[in-house]
Structure 1
Amino acid sequence: MTQEEFLEKNVFAGLTKIEEHNGDSYFSEEDFSEVLKQSEHFGIAIYDIKMMLNGEELKTINHDTFRKKATDVNWYKREFSHLKREQEGCIYAATYKVSKKLLAR
Structure 2
Amino acid sequence: MIREFFLDKYVFIGLTNLNNGFDAPGIKYFSESDFDIVLSRVQQLGLGIYGIEPWQNGEYYCAVIYEEFTDDPKDPNWYIKVFEDFKKSGQELQYAASYFVPNEILAKDASN
Q: Tell whether the structures are fold-level matches, with TM greater than 0.5.
A: yes
**Equivalent in the alignment of 1:25:** 28
Q: Is the 8 A contact 1:51 1:92 kept in 2?
A: yes
Paired position in structure 2 for 1:8: 8
For these two proteins, the number of residue pairs brought into alignment is 105
Normalized against structure 1, the TM-score is what?
Answer: 0.93
Paired AA for residue 97 in structure 1: F
- Give, in whole Å, the separation in 1 of the partners of 2:33 and 2:91: 12
Letter in 1 for 2:12: F
Q: Which of 90, 95, 111 matches 1:92? A: 95
Q: Residue 69 of structure 1 corresponds to which residue in structure 2?
A: 72
In structure 2, distance between residues paired with 1:64 and 1:30 = 25
Structure 1: gaps spanning 5 or more residues = none
Asked whether the equivalents of residues 2 and 103 of structure 1 are also in contact (C-alpha less than 8 Å), the reply is yes
Q: Percent identity?
A: 38
Q: Normalized against structure 2, the TM-score is what?
A: 0.88
Structure with bigger RCO (C-alpha 8 Å, 6+ apart)? 1
Q: What code does the residue aligned with 2:89 have?
A: E
What displacement does 1:68 show? 4.1
> Distance in 2 between the 1:7 and 1:79 partners?
21
C-alpha distance 87-56 of structure 1, shift in aligned 2 (>3 A)? farther
Q: Which amino acid aligns with 2:7?
A: L
Q: CA RMSD in A?
A: 1.4
CA distance in 2 between partners of 1:18 and 1:76 (Å)? 20
Greater radius of gyration (CA):
2
Query: Deviation at 1:80?
Result: 0.3
